[in-house]
Amino acid sequence: MKVEKKPATILYPVPAVMVTCQDEAGNFNIITIAWTGTVCSVPPMVSISVRPDRYSHKLISKSGHFVINIPTTDQVEAVDYCGMVSGREVDKFKKTGLTPIPASLVNAPLIKECPVNVECEVKQIIKLASHDLFLAEIVANHIDEEVLNDKGRLDMSRAKPLGYGTHKYWALAEELGVYGFSREKL
């Protein structure tokens, strides 16, 4: 039997990423974001949903830039921390010990320790209710050599991604099949 529940956000797992941004003076910030996703293939586009009261909302709206840094399971503490405190009060790079390095095209730093960094340029901001939806084009990607396989492709088992759901963090690296594998089976 199914139990009907009232409407609420329920999709799981979703990625929990560390989004970086910077103010006009060049000060960096990190915000943890779970409401993120791929929204278009050509051009490659992503979305992040950010509450207007977040410090990062102001920075990203002003600069029109951000970087999505995809953490590993080893970075779960920093992921949680960057979602608990505001850049208005805390220098989150200093506090977590994460290292900012320059992006190629956007005014926001990459987090060196995250194996994948996605440079994003905001194209549209859509006001929803609790959150504003930032639609952005991916203008550059950076991937650590250590997480590439021998064909130069991202190897998830090395990137050790983490997921978020039911107010908890989860490890996600077990491979179940290759895209399209069902066609040979069914």
Residues that bind ligand FMN (CB under 6 A): 16, 29, 31-35, 49-51, 54-56, 80, 83-88, 131, 164
Give the CB-nearest residue to ligand FMN: 83
- The least distance separating ligand FMN from the CB of residue 141, rounded to whole angstroms, comes to 21
Between the CA of residue 185 and those of 176, 179, 180, what are the distances in Å? 14, 13, 10
9 or 104, CB closer to ligand FMN? 9
Tokens of 52: 């207007």
- Cα 114 from Cα 13, distance rounded (Å): 19
User: Which CB atom, from 56 or from 117, has the smaller least distance to ligand FMN?
Assistant: 56
Residue with tokens 């060196």: 112
Sign of CA dihedral 119, 45, 65, 165: negative
Q: What does the longest C-alpha to C-alpha distance in the chain come to? A: 58
Minimum distance from residue 108 beta carbon to ligand FMN (Å): 13
Closest approach of ligand FMN to the CB of residue 30, in Å: 7
Question: Please, which residue, 40 or 52, has the CB nearer to ligand FMN?
Answer: 52
